[in-house]
Amino acid sequence: MILILSQEPKKRKLPAILAFLLLLAGGSYFVQTTLAADISINSGSVEFGQGIARTTTCDNAVLVTPLSRFVNAQGSGSHRFVGVSLSEIDSNSGKCSGKDFIIKAYSNSGSLVNLFSNGGQSYNSLRVYDNAGNFYLVSAGSEMDVISSGENPSADLSNTSFTVTFDTPMADADEVKFISVESTDHVDTGVIYYGSSSYQLVSNEISWQAAYLDITTPVDGQCKYRRNGQCGYFAAITSDAERQAVVSSVGDSEMWLGGSDIQEEGIWKWIDGPQFGTLFSAGYTNWAGGEPNDSGNEDALQTYSGTNTEWNDLPVGDGFHLKYLIEYSPDFRSRTNRLLPTYYDLGTTGPGGGRIFYYSASGFNCGSGFSATGSPTGGKCHYLEAAPRTWSGGAGDPTISWATNVNGNLVTSVTGARETAIGSGYKNSLAIEAQNGNVAASSAAVAARAYRGGSESDWYLPSKDELNELIINRVIADALEGYWSSSEGAADGAWDQGSNGNQGLARPGKQQTTPVRPIRAF
């Protein structure tokens, strides 16, 4: 693995003479390459940590500085060759911009020295790409990293610099006889560059939702897409210059970007990476005329193909399959925020210990007030979770009346308990719970509210539409009975649904006993 260290490395004096050695070698190794410098560091008075300027083809002179650090070991220690700095680089067009620097180290015998290890593999060379004063490391296969640049490369492109250091160095300093630095035309790896970011277009065409989950779902607790310590995120295009440099460079291709109004209709945000939560209204947009129009519940950001790569909104789910763009930045090395805290497949165990039986990518109103901010995380809810069949302590769901005779057939309705939509069952249940005389032993909603599976306190009796989803997915939810809903249909009746899918208004019938299954939304 390669890291960037900003502190001054420890120095060790070595006897060395700095000699500029022109290697006049034939063969394919030097095809389309030009030698920058060979720096001898093992026979004279120069120490690691000092630099030497040498002539290159892409520049008149660069300052090359080898770095070392003392590493303790049991019974002894050694100075390790831990990196190299190149400075005073001319990164103007026609000079080093668009070139790769190739850095190698050699032993006394002339053999290549392994510099660092990464993922169990050893590497004996570095390739660094100069993109107008922004430097990108090409190493460890196709991995890339922005490694460093001057404070403001665009201010003086004739004097730029970078430093590469290794957190897993492999060579002792006294093993290194000389370092070679070559410049060559940049090798196109399919990576796109702009500023300090690099970009990867994934050609697999999938839905926006699937792309979001592919990028953000961790693997073994780490970001799935990583490049030398950077965490890949759903790309955010925040300026027209970035759009022209990045999106337009991928050719005639429509793609997904990491923007959405899935949390609140009409409020578009960047939903991943260092721009997480940033409103479109606070910065750059490139909407096509008449967009976004939310025609058919459209909450995903898409770029049109063509010269202007304008934006459009499309549905997040299946129906539209596009390529998608991943961005890497030195400002984003781990993911602490996700649009959805965790992704659950239907039938898997939810945070409350029950089974997930419903998912909405766009989300739904929920919570005690049946609102767009009712979820446990303060936004819309996306999942419904059903309690286990043994939630009450028995072998199966208990049968309980909707209400006792005190509050049953002949009384006025429960104020606020006639909501039927998905997400509204919590509001209904609270209204029923608040009605005088309703207790857990004789009120389905109160019993559901008393459940504390997973230490969660937001369980409730499902609304009419939520119950319908539970019955539709009764096998994965292990909900094989007919159940009460929390939706009152009349003063003397409430909605229930049989295991065969038939819904009915039990009227009169609030006092009848019917199986009860708590659910929760999040």
Does residue 28 lie within any of the structural domains? yes
Which residues fall within 8 angstroms of residue 428, CB to CB, at 6 or more apart? 414, 416, 417, 418, 419, 445, 460, 461, 463, 486, 487, 488
Does residue 335 lie within any of the structural domains? no
Q: What gap in Å lies between CA 30 and CA 491, rounded to an integer?
A: 89
Residue 30, CA distances (Å) to 21, 27, 36, 157, 158 in order: 15, 6, 12, 27, 26
Q: Are residues 487 and 460 in the same domain?
A: yes
H helix or E strand, kind and range, residue 294: none
Q: Are residues 158 and 208 in the same domain?
A: no
Least confident interval from 17-26, 428-437, 488-497: 17-26
Q: Are residues 28 and 105 in the same domain?
A: yes
Q: Are residues 425 and 509 in the same domain?
A: yes
pTM: 0.50
Does residue 498 lie within any of the structural domains? yes
Final residue before a domain boundary, out of 328, 345, 380: 328
Does residue 411 lie within any of the structural domains? yes
Residue 199 contacts residue 221 (beta carbons within 8 Å) = no
H helix or E strand, kind and range, residue 399: strand 399-401
Q: Quote the pLDDT of residue 496.
A: 94
Q: Are residues 15 and 157 in the same domain?
A: yes
Q: Name the more confident of 189 and 420.
A: 420
Does residue 35 lie within any of the structural domains? yes
Q: Are residues 198 and 251 in the same domain?
A: yes
Final residue before a domain boundary, out of 328, 346, 366: 328
Nearest to 174 by CA among 66, 318, 279: 66
Q: Quote the pLDDT of residue 483.
A: 96
Q: Over 80: is that where the pLDDT of 386 sits?
A: yes
Give the pLDDT confidence of 338-384 residue by residue, as tens digits. Answer: 765 456 778 888 889 999 999 987 789 999 999 988 888 777 898 99
Give the pLDDT confidence of 228-265 residue by residue, as tens digits. Answer: 668 999 999 999 999 988 876 776 678 999 999 887 88
Domain that holds residue 456: 355-521
Q: Are residues 124 and 149 in the same domain?
A: yes
Q: Are residues 171 and 220 in the same domain?
A: no
Q: Are residues 286 and 380 in the same domain?
A: no
Q: Are residues 477 and 431 in the same domain?
A: yes
Least confident interval from 90-104, 247-261, 406-420, 476-490: 406-420
Does residue 334 lie within any of the structural domains? no
Final residue before a domain boundary, out of 188, 212, 238: 188
Give the pLDDT confidence of 160-184 residue by residue, as tens digits. Answer: 888 888 878 888 888 888 888 888 8
Q: Over 80: is that where the pLDDT of 472 sits?
A: yes
Does residue 401 lie within any of the structural domains? yes
Q: Are residues 219 and 165 in the same domain?
A: no
Residue 371 contacts residue 365 (beta carbons within 8 Å) = yes
- CATH assignment at residue 279: 3.10.100.10
Computed over every residue of the chain, the mean pLDDT equals: 79
Q: Are residues 122 and 216 in the same domain?
A: no
Does residue 339 lie within any of the structural domains? no
Omega of the bond leading into 292 within 30 degrees of 0 (cis): yes
Q: What gap in Å lies between CA 256 and CA 214, rounded to an integer?
A: 13
What's the structural domain count of the chain?
3
